[in-house]
Structure 1
Amino acid sequence: MAAPFIGSLLGWRAEPWEKHNKLVPNIADASHTASMDHALGVFDQLNVSRPDSGGPIGPEKQASGMALEAAVEQDLTTALPQLEPGVGWIVNRGGRIHSFRQYSHLAELERELAQNPTLRSIFSGDYATHPDVTVGIDDDLPQPRLHANVSCKFTLRSDRAQNSRQEALVMIRNRRGRSPHIVVVTVEPELARLASIARGMG
């Protein structure tokens, strides 16, 4: 699926520790040569001009992830009914997976854990995830079915890649019924970091 929103997320940021307060692509790891090279290539292909030529300043690091989540939510909300009209699509940011049919049993588990500190220390949160964006389908049953879980990572460092993979494993392991599609959306330019998700090396 195309990402028409990508242009609104790209821009430049200043790295104060670089000589002369250097401007770098906001998707790049300024300390990583390959990341910088690939990011500059992406910006060149997408015609993202530098600020001194009228180019955009990117969102602050803390806001980048939230901006990506909002853009993905909006895009899926618009695109899915066009691709498959008649399906009861439910697209939301955040939320809990136990609101979906395959994971409704986790709500009961959560209630038990709230009352039992010993059990709570054993499970240690390994039973639940907090999705960035969920895609559900309302099929006229008491609870909607989770069709896809979308993990939004503006860039990938090793811990972020591992978080996405771990979240996917938890969702696959704890489901009852059909597994949802597991999706990662990122603007990460470095190929080795992208490969780490599929290879489980993150």
Structure 2
Amino acid sequence: MPASFVTDLCGYRNGKPNTSDSSKADSVELGRIFFERLGVPEEKHAEKNDHTWSLAMVADLQGKLKEVAQHLTVERERHAHEFEQYAHLGAIQRLADDDSLPLDNAVRNLQNHLPTAEEGGEETSVLVEALLKALDESRARRRPLLDALGDESLPKLDISVHRALDGAAIDRPHLVAGFSLKWSLRTDRLQDPRTHGAKMATLRRGRMPHFAAVTMEPRPYFLARLGQGTGDLDCVYHLHLPALTAAVDEYYSATKSRLKTRDTFHRMVEQRRLRDYDDLVAYLGTL
């Protein structure tokens, strides 16, 4: 079953489908066929949906998961280091926060409340000077070390699905799934989800969350470039795979090259590299 909210996000911009690359005739033509299958009228104008989509998807998943997995929480725009498998990623930044200034102020405040050398506090003055010198030396040693450390980080997750951990040593939720949302695909947008997935696999401490891209892109070529990777992504979910399959079967026919593209698309579906939105919901219900 496709995403119930998908047609609300579809429409035309300057007479062209908002899933299409307006500079590519084949993309526009395939997009029109795709929208015909979706039942999107040509007079429907498309608004920008950068945040509308993620809000609609979070609301949809929350409603569906209440029935099958009440222990799961769905949110948008969360940092990976907010979850227990990636909590260590924020440690370098916390270490880099220089706490020597408050210590320096505390020593000077102590100095103001102790006898001066003229008042017979020679030993006190020596102690304060020693403390200040130790702080300066500590700061001098610490800064080069911090500058040499790598700043390991991850971009925010477009959508995260997590659960609480009972009795865990760290008071942070466990990330069970993360999703990178790409309404449409271009060459410059393909690498983001794959790089994100590779870094999540490399930097985790513990179980790897289910990580996938979610898209409305209709062109098999770009879907294959994203989905036929080396394991950076578990799979690619499409918001309306049945309508896309029908559009691909209609458009990619008649010529040998087009039939080859159609066959590549079907292989992706059969190999479950490309899955329907309903598969996403069903899988989350098992986590």
Change (3 A) 1:179 1:46: same
- Indicate the RMSD between aligned Cα atoms, in angstroms: 2.2
Give the gaps of 5 or more residues in structure 2.
Answer: 99-142, 231-287
* Letter aligned with residue 41 of structure 1: I
Are 1:123 and 2:150 matched, yes or no? Answer: yes
What TM-score does the superposition give when structure 2 sets the normalisation length? 0.59
Paired residues, number: 183
Q: Distance in 1 between matches of 2:96 and 2:224?
A: 37
* Letter aligned with residue 128 of structure 1: L
Q: Distance in 1 between matches of 2:148 and 2:215?
A: 33
Residues 104-113 or 183-192, more deviating: 104-113
Higher RCO (C-alpha under 8 Å, 6+ residues apart): 2
* Letter aligned with residue 59 of structure 1: E
Q: Per the alignment, in what secondary structure is the counterpart of residue 30 of structure 1?
A: coil
Aligned residue runs from structure 1 range 16-95, under 5 A: 23-51=15-43, 56-60=44-48, 64-84=49-69, 87-95=70-78
Q: Per the alignment, in what secondary structure is the counterpart of residue 108 of structure 1?
A: helix
Q: Per the alignment, in what secondary structure is the counterpart of residue 150 of structure 1?
A: strand
What TM-score does the superposition give when structure 1 sets the normalisation length? 0.82
Q: Distance in 2 between matches of 1:117 and 1:26?
A: 50
Are 1:133 and 2:159 matched, yes or no? Answer: yes
Give the gaps of 5 or more residues in structure 1.
Answer: 15-22
Q: Distance in 2 between matches of 1:149 and 1:59?
A: 26
Q: Distance in 1 between matches of 2:23 and 2:4?
A: 29
1:114 to partner: Cα distance: 5.3
**Percent sequence identity over matched residues?**
31
Partner of 1:158: 187
Partner of 2:282: none
* Letter aligned with residue 150 of structure 2: F
Residues 128-137 or 110-119, more deviating: 110-119
Q: Per the alignment, in what secondary structure is the counterpart of residue 175 of structure 2?
A: strand
Q: Distance in 2 between matches of 1:174 and 1:5?
A: 34
What is the CA deviation profile of residues 39-83 of structure 1, one whole-angstrom value per residue up to 9, with x for unaligned ones? 1111010111111xxxx21113xxx22222112111111111223
8 A Cα contact 1:129 1:171, kept in partner? no
1:155 to partner: Cα distance: 0.8
Q: Distance in 2 between matches of 1:104 and 1:71?
A: 28
Residues 142-151 or 75-84, more deviating: 75-84
1:112 to partner: Cα distance: 3.1
8 A Cα contact 1:129 1:170, kept in partner? no
Q: Which of these two proteins has the greater Rg computed from alpha carbons?
A: 2
Q: Distance in 2 between matches of 1:117 and 1:6?
A: 51
The structure where helix makes up a greater share of residues is: 2
Q: Distance in 1 between matches of 2:158 and 2:74?
A: 11
* Letter aligned with residue 136 of structure 1: H
Change (3 A) 1:159 1:117: farther
8 A Cα contact 1:98 1:106, kept in partner? yes
Change (3 A) 1:8 1:173: same
1:183 to partner: Cα distance: 1.7
Change (3 A) 1:117 1:182: farther
What is the CA deviation profile of residues 65-116 of structure 1, one whole-angstrom value per residue up to 9, with x for unaligned ones? 22221121111111112233xx421111102111111011112123235565
